[in-house]
Amino acid sequence: MRIILLVILSAFTLVGHTNEDQLREKIKKNYPDLIIKSIYKTEFNDLYEVFTQDQIIYTDVNFSFLIVEGRVVDPKSKIDLTGKRLEELTRVNFSALPFEKAIKSVKGTGERKIAIFSDVDCPFCKKLEKETLSKLDDVTIYTFLFPLEMHPEAEKRSKRIWCASDKEKAWNDYMLNNKMVKNNGDCKTPIEDILLLGRNLSITSTPTIILSSGKKIPGAIPLKEMREYLAAP
């Protein structure tokens, strides 16, 4: 009886994998450039979740429809199941981040930790620095220089900041006072590595904050909201 049961369970597992593989092939046939990270059969009849970078889309096993930017909500609890699932799928392994390639700033005890992917010429990054980060206490901030292509001078300025003898001061001088450090920016920098890391983490905009829990938060969030995040267990 045990052998028969194992065979049946194996058969169901095989069918499940086959359905997912077939669905993947159908999606790639229609959208060859789409990056598919995972396919998961949800608890709702024939609804499949397809995770692509930072987005969840829904379809059925036959790929007969496609729901883009839709949300699945539990009608009883009113919980946004899509949002909850997306948070799980995009969670970052905080301890695995290459902190040696970041600008480190310690405020007070530094006991709480956050990482930020930031662009020197991003106005929202400057807003975050001035209105939120500069007013935090007892936190260690790791800033990863992440120049965006839309800002043509950002990479050159990022290199100059990294090549400064005091990286933290050079960063703060520019972000808070628009004062750029005087050097040629010709030292070895980790910027290319950070750009690749950002792509692997599906970071497409700045600023992007990463909490020690691994949760990603986009945008220049207000001081009150940041303090609430840092106070959460």
In the chain the domains, ranked by start, together with CATH numbers, are 2-89 (3.10.450), 94-231 (3.40.30.10)
- CA 146, CA 95: separation in Å to the nearest integer? 19
Task: Say how far residue 119 (Cα) sits from the centre of its chain.
Answer: 15
CA distances (Å), 220 to each of 108, 130, 135, 171, in order?
Answer: 22, 10, 14, 17
Q: How does pLDDT run along the chain (233 residues), one tens digit per residue?
A: 444 444 444 444 444 457 888 899 999 999 999 889 899 899 888 899 999 877 899 999 999 999 998 899 989 899 999 988 988 888 999 999 999 999 999 999 999 999 999 999 999 999 999 999 999 999 999 999 999 999 999 999 999 999 999 999 999 999 999 999 999 999 999 999 999 999 999 898 999 999 999 999 999 999 999 999 999 87
Rounded to two decimals, what is the model's pTM?
Answer: 0.80
Nearest to 142 by CA among 101, 107, 102, 169: 102
Other beta carbons less than 10 A from residue 13's beta carbon = 10
